[in-house]
Amino acid sequence: MRFLIPLVLAFSALAGMASAGMAAPDDRATAIFAGGCFWCMEPPFDKTEGVISTTSGYIGGTLDNPTYEQVSAGGTGHAEAVKIVYDPSKVRYDELLHLFWRNVDPLRKDAQFCDTGHQYRSAIFYLDDEQKKLAEESKQELEKSGRFSQPVVTEIAKAGPFYPAEKYHQDYYLKNPNRYAFYRWNCGRDQRLEQLWDDEAGEH
């Protein structure tokens, strides 16, 4: 009988989670965005209610299991990106899109802030038709808003394999706060975001 007790307790705990509206693994969803340096794309999403995890990595290229050295050198076709796992009952995909736009420069092609090259492009990598639809609508809405006189060049592409970056890149802003802050300031990221988005810059 004793071996049944843990099973009963585990079942009761799961039932309690469901009744409390807590998300089970099957209720999780994924979004993938590229906005230049992936170190800088993790913080705004990590601070967003409903986001469960962020992972820096590489997507959009032709090489399997690329390294940081290969991607940063250019030529693999990959973009530095962040994969976001979230609870759609707490935050919607269109809300994540809104957050994405206000953390990137959508007017620069193959570059973001001080980083240049195709690997630093801004992009939305959709995982299904609904994400594609919402991404395209959000881009069209931005283009029609009259906010910018230049075209919005952010790419919208179907997601291919996503390769997590090396361990030292994950949560870099938490592990190395001083180096991260200096890089972000030296890159002019926040200054440019304020020029583009005013009070909405860097939202989370």
Residues assigned a catalytic role? 37
Spatial separation of the C-alpha atoms in residues 176 and 192, rounded to whole Å: 23
Kindly state the DSSP code that residue 128 receives in the 8-state scheme: S
CB 113 within 8 A of CB 185: no
Kindly state the DSSP code that residue 16 receives in the 8-state scheme: H
Residue-level length of the chain:
204
Amino acid in position 124: I
147-152: long-range contacts, CB 8 A cutoff, minimum separation 24: 148/106, 148/107, 148/196, 150/107, 151/107, 152/106, 152/107
Spatial separation of the C-alpha atoms in residues 78 and 150, rounded to whole Å: 25
Closest by CA to 119, choosing from 68, 192, 179, 83, is 68
